[in-house]
A and B are shown apart, each in its own frame.
Chain A
C-alpha cells in the first residue's frame, strides 16, 4: 500500500471542476442560451411547446429563466421514436445507443463526434475524481453494446491513459482470473455484481490485493452496501451517476470525500423540482432531478425529468471542487424500476402478460437479488378462464408468459402462478412491486 493517498492526487483534467462559481455560472448561461436556441431551431416538439408558452430563446436572459421553459419527458423520446428529437442530420451523427422504453420500443440517443468528446471528457474527469490515473489497470465489466455503460467507461479510462481491459459483463470466473492475474487496480461494474465477484473470489481463494478502487453505478445502492464492500475488500467504492438520455455514465461522480456526487455542471445543468407541481426547489430541498445538457448537439435535452429523487448540496466539498453535488440517489419519483441495468415499468409487464391469451390482470412483481444478480419474479393470479385440470396446459401458460415478458422487456423473469385474490391489495389497488433487494 502506498503511503501517499492516491485518491487525493490532483489531475489536470479536473481543472474545470474547480473554476470559481461566478465564472461557471457565466459559462453555463452562455452554453444554455446556445443549446436552447439549437433545440428551438431544430427540434419541432420543443419549438411548438415553447410557442405554446409564447417563449423564444431570447427569453432566456438568466439561468433562472430556464424554469419558464417546458420539461422533456421520457415519453417524449418514445412518442418521437426513433429519431424525432435529433437536432443533427445523420451525416453528423457518429453513434447511437438505446435503452428500453415503456412499450417495448427502446429509447434511442445520438451523439456527434463532439458529443462523444464531451462524454469522454466527463468520464475522464469522473475517473480522475476517483483518484485514477495513468498506470492504473481498469477492468471494465459494464456491458458493451447498446447500453451506454460499457463504451462510456471504456473511452473515458483510455483517454485518462489508464490500461483498459474491455472484459464486458458476465463470466464471473474469468473476471476473477483477470482481476488477479492482470494486477487490476480499478474496476467498473454494478455494485451488486462486485459483491458477487468478491463472494465467488473467496470461494476460489483468489486475491485482489492490487485492487484499489471500484467505480460503481447503473443501479441504486446504499451507504450500507458501500460500507460492506469497503470493509470486506479494502476497495474504495465510488458512486457514479448517469443516464443515456443525458449522455450515459459521467453525469456525476463522487470524489474522495464520498459525500454526494459532483455534477459536471459545465455540461449538465441541474435543477431539483417538486415532482407534483414541477416548481423549482431551492438548494438543499429534496425533489426530482431535472437535467439540461449544455453542450450536446445531436440530441439536446432541455429540462429532462430524470425521475430520480435527490437534493442539490450547496455547501462546498472537502475536495475543493466548486461544481455542486447531488445527494446519492436512493429512489425514484415514478414506479419505474431498474433490473440488471434495464429500465422496466410495471405497465410493460402488464402489456406482456395481457399479450398472452386470456386476461390476467392481477400480477405482482417481486424483485430480489441472488448471488449479486437481480432476479425478477412475476406472480400471476390464475383465473377460471385460464385454469386447466392438466399440468401441461398450465406449464404451457407459464412458458408463454415467460416468453412474452422476455420479448417485451428483454429480460428473463420467473413466472409463478398463484391463487386468485392472493396478491395483496391496498385500498383496492394492487401493490405491483415488492422490492426485496438489499441496497
Chain B
C-alpha cells in the first residue's frame, strides 16, 4: 500500500539540484516522479524511484543527506471535482496531509495518481479504501507510471 519516497537536502545555490540527478543518471536509475519544496535558504527534493535502496546508497556515497519516508499512491478520477472528493475523505478525521504531488497526471481520460504524505499512512489508507478510493500497491503504482 505504500511507496518509499527519497528526500534529499539541497542547498539554495546553483547546481545543487543537478548533482543528485547526475548521480542517479550515472547509476541508471530513472526518476518516476519528484517534487521540490523550496524556502529562502534551502530546498527539499522528494523523489520516487524503483530501486529505492540502491538510489539511497549511490546518493549517500555522493555526499547527499537522504531520508526515506512512506507515501500513499492514491487514484483520483480525471474529472472536475475528482480531487475535492478524494480530499473530502479526510474531513473530520483529524488526519492532515503534509504535502502531495502527482505520480501520474491524468490526461486523455486516464486516471490520475497522487502521492500523499500523511502522518499516519496506515490509517489514511484504511480511511480511503473504506470510502472506495483506490490506494495503489507499490507494483501497481510503478505500473501506472509505466515503469
Instruction: List the interface of chain A (C-beta within 8 A of B).
Output: 382-384, 387-391, 394-395, 398, 416-422
Contacts and interface: CB of A to CB of B under 8 A. Distances in A.
Contact of B65 (A383, A390, A416): A383
Contacts of B11: 417-419, 422
A419 B10 CA distance: 7
Interface in B1-45: 5, 7, 9-11, 16, 37, 39, 41-42, 44
Interface size class of B (residues with CB under 8 A): 20 to 34
B67 interface: yes
Contacts of A419: 9-11, 16, 63-65
Contacts of B7: 387-389
Contact of A420 (B5, B16, B65, B67): B65
A416 B42 CA distance: 8
Contacts of B66: 384
B68 to A, nearest CB: 9
Contacts, number: 52
A391 B41 contact: no
Nearest to A417: B42
Interface of B: 5, 7, 9-11, 16, 37, 39, 41-42, 44, 46, 63-67, 69, 98-99, 117
Nearest to A390: B98
A419 B43 CA distance: 11
A391 B44 contact: yes
A382 B65 CA distance: 7
A386 to B, nearest CB: 9
Given A394-B42, A419-B63, A387 B9 contact: yes
B41 to A, nearest CB: 6
B46 A389 contact: yes
Contacts of A390: 44, 98-99, 117
B114 to A, nearest CB: 16
Q: Which of A389, A394, A398 has the most CB of B within 10 A?
A: A389
Nearest to B98: A390
A394 B65 contact: no
A359 B48 CA distance: 29
A389 B65 contact: no
B117 A389 contact: yes
8 contacts: A387-B67, A389-B117, A390-B98, A417-B11, A417-B42, A419-B63, A419-B64, A420-B65
Contacts of A384: 65-67
A389 B41 contact: no
Contacts of B37: 391
A372 to B, nearest CB: 24
B72 to A, nearest CB: 14
A21 B142 CA distance: 90
B20 to A, nearest CB: 11
A416 B41 contact: yes
Nearest to B38: A391
A394 B11 CA distance: 12
Given A417-B9, A422-B11, A389 B44 contact: yes
B36 to A, nearest CB: 11
Contacts of B9: 382, 387, 394, 417, 419-420
A391 B36 CA distance: 11
A388 B42 contact: no
A346 B63 CA distance: 26
A391 B38 CA distance: 8
